[in-house]
């Protein structure tokens, strides 16, 4: 099974990542799809390795608890992928999510993440 995971195309890895992330199955996603040596650039800094990916997943979950993700644009070309997304929870939303990915040998090896958390006024 491990060999089959590493033989996946960038599109297959990207689709698997989005499916698992959308189901809030972050630990499984990280183990299956994220390289142990991943580098993620995000507004709070540079995050390295799976622990860095877990930290970012935890922060996003805290900012948007149980929010469904809406993938508004998905592009894959060769080893690169791009995602635009939105999400809304009870008290916060994201309307400008934009992530880019470098995918090699069945792993996400680099990623950039951008989003702005806005409060939701539910009066």
pLDDT of residue 84: 99
pLDDT of residue 121: 82
Q: Where are the alpha helices (DSSP H) in the chain?
A: 2-6, 10-22, 26-33, 49-63
Cα separation of 60 and 85, whole Å? 13
List the chain pLDDT tens, one digit each, 123 residues. Answer: 678 999 999 999 999 999 999 998 999 999 999 999 999 999 999 999 999 999 999 999 999 998 999 999 999 999 999 999 999 999 999 999 999 999 999 999 999 999 999 999 876
User: What is the CATH code of the structural domain delimited by 2-119?
Assistant: 3.10.450.50
**Where are the domains positioned within the chain?**
2-119
For 19-51, letters b (16+ CB in 10 Å) and e give ebbeeeebeebbebbbbeebbbebeeeebebbe
In this structure, what token pair is assigned to residue 101? 């990915």
pLDDT of residue 86: 98
């Amino acid at each position: 099974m491990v060999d089959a995971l590493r033989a996946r195309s960038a599109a297959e890895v990207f689709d698997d990542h989005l499916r698992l992330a959308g189901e809030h199955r972050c630990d499984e996603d990280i183990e299956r799809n994220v390289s142990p040596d991943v580098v993620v650039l995000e507004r709070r800094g540079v995050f390295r390795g799976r622990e860095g990916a877990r930290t970012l997943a935890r922060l996003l979950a805290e900012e948007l608890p149980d929010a469904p993700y809406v993938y508004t644009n998905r592009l894959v070309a060769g080893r690169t992928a791009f995602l635009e997304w939105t999400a809304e929870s009870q008290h916060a939303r994201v309307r400008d999510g934009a992530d880019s990915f470098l995918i090699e040998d069945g792993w996400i090896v680099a990623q950039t993440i951008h989003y702005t958390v806005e409060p939701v006024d539910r009066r």
